[in-house]
Structure 1
Amino acid sequence: MPAAMPGGRLLLAAVLLTALNLRAAIAAVGPVLDDVRADLGLSAAAAGLLTTLPVLCFALLAPASAALGRRIGPGAAVLGSMVLLAGAQGLRVLGGSPVLLAGTFLVGAAMTVGNVLLPAVAKGFGHRAGTVTGLYTAALVAGAAAGAAFTAPLAAVLGWRGALAAEGLLALVAAVVWAGAARGAAAAGPAPATAPSDGSLWRSPVAWAVTAVQALQSTLYFTLTAWLPTLLADRAGTDAATGSLAASVFQVFGIAGSLLVPAVLARRRGQAGLALGVAALWSVPVAGLLVLPGSWPAWAAVGGLAQGAGIAFAVTLVVLRAADGAVAARLSGMSQLVGYGVGALGPVVVGALSEVTGGWTAPLLLLLALGLGLAAAGLVAARPVEVR
């Protein structure tokens, strides 16, 4: 890390530990959802809220998270969010369904602060900001995979309540490291007085291109995450176990995909080729599921590479296009407000289209069109123009 950055290595450790926490608590719910429903008598709608509510927080609370970062500084805000996340994960297992849902909302709120403000912290790493962003995105994807993989074994020993509460320990570790890296985090501190207004940001074509990349990437990711097992059952005749395996492959390969972005950025200054590469990675599995669904292992693996690279690319664009940490926080809030809001609608629209048309051809063609849109938005966002 740059020598001029106080506590650079410790700050990097804090960033990566925080990233490990930003999806794990959501991914951990799926493996124990049947136990939770049986214990608490949750309806299907309430059970769905356990994974949907945090995503809604990502969108709706993004502007407030950016404002919090401007008021107290990104480092202090993220430190507070890790403390809140640890407490919320313990809280949500202490009662019935109302407590579980309230705790889940707080989990989503805490994660939103990290989602929005880590790009502002990464901007403080100077010329290594893009690489640091790619690394913490890889940690984010790895945290989700670990949450999905280890919760069931923990639940076998501790019960579902103990397993979900145990996820909070990693957030406490991140908070302790953040406290030790406080001087380094101050390098990405409060916004300067010259920071632009939100209105000027929302009128920037480059900011909208970055936001479009986030929205299209999120739509593709959430849609395949929600519908891949069902799609394979309908088009390839797979059973539930095979669908679960495909979903796991899709998530695990995301770790490798997220590492592609820092590797490419370390060798090339421009991002236009990366934009086209990410769009191509998304188009291959969608086209494969349309034409040769029986080859689903290949499409699940390539789709995993696509989602990991796409997440890393979307977040990295925020860091690279922002003129400074203050703008990075604002641009992150804007892109996540719109991006996650649109992304959350993706599974709903695709599911409805599948039901109306009686199959998956039309939905897959729609996803292919979104891939083309991702390429176009990515090329605009990849131009070396700073948002000020």
Structure 2
Amino acid sequence: MTGRGADQRTPALLLAAVLLVGVNLRGAIAAVSPVLPEVRADLGLSPSSVSLVTTLPVLCFAAAAPAAAWFGRRVGARPGISWALLLLAVATVARVLGGPAVLLAGTVAIGLAMTVGNVLLPPVVKAGFGAAAGRVTGLYTAALAAGAALTAALTAPIAGLWGWRVGLAGWALLALAAAVLWRSAAGTADPTGPAPVTPAAAGRGPATGPSVWPHPVAWAVGLLLALQTMLYYAVTTWLPTLLVDRLEAGLPTGAAAASLFQLVGILGALLVPALIGRRRGQVGLGLVVGAGWVVLFAGLLAWPAGWGLWVTVGGLAQGAGVALSFTVIVLRAHDADAARRVSGMAQLVGYGIGATGPLLVGGLYGATGGWAVPLATLAGIGVLYAAVASVAGRPVTVGGPPSVRDGGSAPVGPAPAGGRPATPPGGR
């Protein structure tokens, strides 16, 4: 089938495929936490090995992002996502078929598959949905949160019936379903076409456009994802422990807070598509998200007994923040190829820095013996998030032709003489 034929497929079907891919891009990671005690007891894992099961995929998001961008340039974004879904399905089953080494190797493969989806989905959305790309990006980032909530909620009951191996391996069916729908909706042809293969590194070389690395807005996009990732994983890792320490609460209270944080995040992510089209820039939205993060940490520091309110505000902030982080990748890119390069850079920077969040909080907690310094530090990162968002949210584009790059940026969707907004290159 030609690229033109693929482009003419039903937009609703392509949207459904994008959302189902999004559901798969975090689900296999979130599925592990509910059955970690059983996994550890069965395989005799050490605490450090247990932590690797959840941190290795995030490290892959950073380390493999340039390779994923190169892969997308070589084979095309749409076929690349098809291959990633198949790898995800195979790795989800393979990781439960052996001992610790097999589990960790499968976890790395899962991280690599998800990285390809992380990097290549934004250019597909940019090319496939044109002016609606921002809203579609917000929807599929909501699907990320929904997938994590789904697998976290259902893995334990499945494992209770058939064991943890079936509980984890069963999610391969979801990846296979996404692969089938993706092939039907997106086809095997990439409308932008694979780029000529050159020695240039993903995101750096001039093979298909100017380097995005020197551009301050591209750095702001990467740093926005970095700060969002730091805050999200720090709270996900330490919130239950914090409440147990500060309130002398039981583990059920900590678990309830963690669940509330994740579930409210779905609503936060869904709010972004509704708001994203109201203004050309996203600075105001970024400031609101930053304020939400600050409220979470300041509230837990000043009045931890009110954790239900603070966690609700923080959950809205984290959901909206992850949607905003991926949306600006699409909106700041001049076209689909630029989106591929900005996506690779942003995720290398974002996840590379962001993975340090839990370690930073743990180090401060261990050094001070309390939560005042960690919470104050996280609140400061929330303020920094708002400052970075004021740059990443500006209505400019990165990676355009020389006429667009003069001055380093250009308005998004410049209007032609007729007054209608121009469709982004590669869009419909």
Tell whether the structures are fold-level matches, with TM greater than 0.5.
yes
Q: Is the 8 A contact 1:14 1:181 kept in 2?
A: yes
Deviation at 1:195, TM superposition (A): 6.2
SS at match of 1:181: helix
| Structural mapping, 1:1-388, within 5 Å | 5-124=8-127, 125-183=129-187, 186-191=190-195, 200-388=211-399
Q: Residue 181 and residue 287 in structure 1: after superposition, are their counterparts in 2 closer, same or farther (change >3 A)?
A: same
TM-score normalised to the size of structure 2? 0.87
Question: Structure 2: which amino acid aligns with 1:170?
Answer: L
Q: Residue 8 and residue 360 in structure 1: after superposition, are their counterparts in 2 closer, same or farther (change >3 A)?
A: same
Aligned length: 386
> Within 1, Cα distance between the matches of 2:63 and 2:209?
16
> Within 2, Cα distance between the matches of 1:209 and 1:68?
24
> Within 2, Cα distance between the matches of 1:336 and 1:261?
20
Deviation at 1:284, TM superposition (A): 1.0
Moved more, 193-202 or 210-219: 193-202
Question: Structure 2: which amino acid aligns with 1:342?
Answer: I
Question: Structure 1: which amino acid aligns with 2:82?
Answer: L
Moved more, 6-15 or 325-334: 6-15
> Within 1, Cα distance between the matches of 2:220 and 2:208?
18
Q: Residue 83 and residue 235 in structure 1: after superposition, are their counterparts in 2 closer, same or farther (change >3 A)?
A: same
SS at match of 1:248: helix
Moved more, 219-228 or 349-358: 349-358
Moved more, 91-100 or 127-136: 91-100
> Within 2, Cα distance between the matches of 1:261 and 1:90?
34
SS at match of 1:296: helix
Q: Is the 8 A contact 1:222 1:347 kept in 2?
A: yes
Moved more, 178-187 or 112-121: 178-187
Q: Is the 8 A contact 2:26 2:147 kept in 1?
A: yes
TM-score normalised to the size of structure 1? 0.96
State, as a whole percentage, how many aligned pairs show the same letter: 58
| Per-residue deviation, residues 78-114 of structure 1 (Å, max 9, x unmatched) | 0100000000011011111111111111111101100
Question: Structure 1: which amino acid aligns with 2:265?
Answer: G
Q: Residue 185 and residue 253 in structure 1: after superposition, are their counterparts in 2 closer, same or farther (change >3 A)?
A: farther
Deviation at 1:197, TM superposition (A): 6.8
Q: Is the 8 A contact 2:79 2:188 kept in 1?
A: no
Deviation at 1:183, TM superposition (A): 3.9
Q: Is the 8 A contact 1:195 1:327 kept in 2?
A: no
SS at match of 2:190: helix
More helix by proportion, 1 or 2? 1
Q: Is the 8 A contact 1:93 1:161 kept in 2?
A: yes
Q: Residue 228 and residue 205 in structure 1: after superposition, are their counterparts in 2 closer, same or farther (change >3 A)?
A: same
> Within 1, Cα distance between the matches of 2:186 and 2:27?
24
Question: Structure 2: which amino acid aligns with 1:161?
Answer: R
SS at match of 1:202: coil
Deviation at 1:382, TM superposition (A): 1.1
Q: Is the 8 A contact 1:7 1:183 kept in 2?
A: no
Question: Structure 1: which amino acid aligns with 2:165?
Answer: R
When Rg is computed on C-alpha atoms for both structures, the one with the higher figure is: 2
Moved more, 217-226 or 197-206: 197-206
SS at match of 2:398: coil
Q: Is the 8 A contact 2:195 2:208 kept in 1?
A: no
Moved more, 131-140 or 229-238: 229-238
Question: Structure 1: which amino acid aligns with 2:349?
Answer: V
Deviation at 1:191, TM superposition (A): 4.4
Q: Residue 192 and residue 56 in structure 1: after superposition, are their counterparts in 2 closer, same or farther (change >3 A)?
A: same
Q: Residue 5 and residue 366 in structure 1: after superposition, are their counterparts in 2 closer, same or farther (change >3 A)?
A: farther
> Within 1, Cα distance between the matches of 2:263 and 2:206?
39
Question: Structure 2: which amino acid aligns with 1:258?
Answer: A
Deviation at 1:247, TM superposition (A): 0.4
Question: Structure 2: which amino acid aligns with 1:156?
Answer: G
> Within 2, Cα distance between the matches of 1:320 and 1:242?
40
> Within 1, Cα distance between the matches of 2:26 and 2:192?
23
Deviation at 1:51, TM superposition (A): 0.4
Structure 2: gaps spanning 5 or more residues:
1-5, 198-204, 400-428
